[in-house]
Amino acid sequence: MSLSSALSEPTLPLAQYRVTLRALERICLPDYSGSAWRGVLGHALKRLACVTKQKNCADCLLYRGCVYSYLFETPPPLNSEKMRNYVAAPHPYLLVPNETKEIQVNEAYCLELTLFGHGNRHLAYLIQTLKMAGERGIGRNNGRFQLCSVEQRVAADEHQCIYTEGQALQPLPLFCAPLPKPPERVTVRLHTPLRLRSEGKNIRPERFEFGHFFSSLLRRLSLLSYFHSDEPLETDFVRLNALAQSVRLLAPELRWQEWRRYSNRQRCFIPMGGIVGSFELHSSELALLWPYLWLGQKTHTGKGSSMGLGRYSLSL
Sheet of 250-257, strands arranged across: 250-257, 274-281, 186-194, 312-315
103 and 149 both lie in a single domain = yes
**Are both 213 and 130 inside the same structural domain?**
no
Instruction: Give yes or no for a contact between 168 and 161, defined as CB atoms under 8 angstroms apart.
Output: no
pLDDT of residue 7: 60
Whether 252 and 115 map to the same domain: the answer is: no
pLDDT score of 195 more than 50: yes
Compute the average pLDDT of residues 283-295: 90
Domain that holds residue 251: 179-315
What CATH number did the domain enclosing 205 receive? 3.30.70.1900
The per-residue pLDDT for range 69-90, each reduced to its tens digit, is 999 999 988 887 777 667 789 9
**Residues 134 and 185 grouped into a single domain:** no
For residue range 96-115, what is the model confidence (pLDDT) as tens digits?
A: 999 899 999 999 999 999 99
Question: Does residue 172 sit within a domain?
Answer: no
Q: What percent of the chain has pLDDT over 90?
A: 76
The residue out of 140, 164, 188 marking a domain boundary is 164
Give 132-143 pLDDT, tens digit per residue. Answer: 999 999 998 999
User: pLDDT digits over 111-170, tens only?
Assistant: 999 999 999 999 999 999 999 999 999 998 999 999 999 999 998 789 999 999 989 999
CATH at residue 38: 3.30.70.1890
Domain count, the chain: 2
Q: Angle of helix 123-136 relative to helix 34-49, nearest 10 degrees?
A: 100
Taking all residues of the chain, what is their mean pLDDT, rounded to a whole number? 92
Residue 258 C-alpha from the chain's centroid: 20
Would you say residue 254 has pLDDT above 90?
yes
> Do the beta carbons of residue 288 and residue 166 sit within 8 Å?
no
Q: Are residues 82 and 108 in the same domain?
A: yes
- 70 and 143 in a single domain? The answer is yes
User: What's residue 262's pLDDT?
Assistant: 73
Is residue 170 domain-resident? Answer: no
The structure's pTM equals 0.94
DSSP 99-136: S-SEE-TT-EEEEEEEEEGGGGGGHHHHHHHHHHHHHH
124 shares a domain with 206: no
Return the axis-axis angle of helices 210-228 and 237-245, rounded to nearest 10°.
160
Beta bridge partners, 263, equal: 268
User: In terms of domains, do 183 and 152 share one?
Assistant: no
Say which residue, 13 or 285, is predicted with more confidence: 13
* 242 plus 282 within the same structural domain: yes
Domain annotation covers residue 1: no
Res 84: pLDDT? 67
Q: Give the end of a domain, one of 164, 199, 232.
A: 164
Beta pairing partners, 261 = 270
